C-alpha cells in the first residue's frame, strides 16, 4: 500500500468522525481551541488505536469483528443521536459546552466511529502493512478532520443551537442507519 492509497483510506475512515465532530460543534455553540483539540484527540486517538489492535488480533477475531461492526456502530450512534434529540427538546439548556465533550460521551462516540478501523487493522496484518506508519497516518488525518469538523459545526450552531443539536442527533442516527444498511449489503 503506497502513501496515497493510505491517505485516501485514512480520509475515508475519518469521515464518520468528521460528521460526528460537526454535530459536536453544532451542540457546543461557542467553541474554543481546546474543544477542537479534545475532539481531535479522542477521534484521532481511537482511529490510530483500533487498526493497531486489529493488527495485533489478526485473523483470530476478524470474522466476528466484520460480521457485527455495523450493528455495534449503528446502535451506539442511534443511542447518542437519540440522546441529542431528547436534550434539544428539554427546557433546561446547559451553558457549559464541555458537557458535550465529557469522557463517557466521547468514549462511546470514538469507539462507534472507529470500529471499522479495527477491521482495517486485521486486513493490514494479512497484507504485511507497516502498522506504526499506517496507524499514525490514520490518527493524524482523523485528528485534523475532527478538529475542522467541530469548528465547522460551531459556525452554524451559534445561531441555531437547539435546532442544530436536534439536526445533529438526526445526522448521527442517519449515519448509524447508513452503516447498518451498508453492512447488510442494502446500500
> Pick from 25, 29, 13, 14: which is nearest to 144 by CA?
14
Give pLDDT tens digits for 152-182.
Answer: 888 876 556 566 667 767 876 887 788 788 8
C-alpha 187/C-alpha 168 separation (Å) is: 22
* Cell matching residue 163: 435546532
Cα–Cα distance list, 144 to 72, 73, 116, 149, 151 (Å): 25, 22, 19, 9, 11
* pTM for the predicted model, two decimal places: 0.72
Closest CA to 110 of 45, 58, 170: 45
* Average pLDDT across the chain, whole number: 80
Amino acid at each position: 500500500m503506497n502513501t496515497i492509497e493510505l491517505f485516501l483510506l485514512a480520509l475515508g475512515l475519518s469521515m464518520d468522525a468528521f460528521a460526528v465532530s460537526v454535530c459536536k460543534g453544532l451542540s457546543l455553540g461557542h467553541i474554543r481551541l481546546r474543544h477542537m483539540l479534545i475532539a481531535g484527540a479522542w477521534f484521532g486517538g481511537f482511529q490510530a488505536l483500533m487498526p493497531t489492535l486489529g493488527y495485533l488480533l489478526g485473523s483470530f477475531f476478524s470474522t466476528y469483528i466484520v460480521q457485527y461492526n455495523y450493528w455495534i456502530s449503528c446502535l451506539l450512534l442511534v443511542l447518542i443521536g437519540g440522546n441529542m434529540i431528547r436534550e434539544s427538546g428539554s427546557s433546561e439548556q446547559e451553558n457549559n459546552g464541555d458537557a458535550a465533550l465529557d469522557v463517557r460521551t466521547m468514549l462511546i462516540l470514538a469507539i462507534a466511529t472507529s470500529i471499522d478501523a479495527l477491521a482495517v487493522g486485521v486486513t493490514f496484518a494479512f497484507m504485511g502493512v507497516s502498522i506504526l506508519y499506517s496507524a499514525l497516518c490514520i490518527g493524524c488525518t482523523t485528528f485534523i478532520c475532527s478538529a475542522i469538523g467541530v469548528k465547522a459545526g460551531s459556525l452554524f450552531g451559534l445561531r441555531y443551537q437547539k435546532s442544530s443539536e436536534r439536526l445533529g442527533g438526526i445526522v448521527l442516527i442517519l449515519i448509524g442507519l447508513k452503516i447498518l444498511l451498508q453492512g447488510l449489503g442494502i446500500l
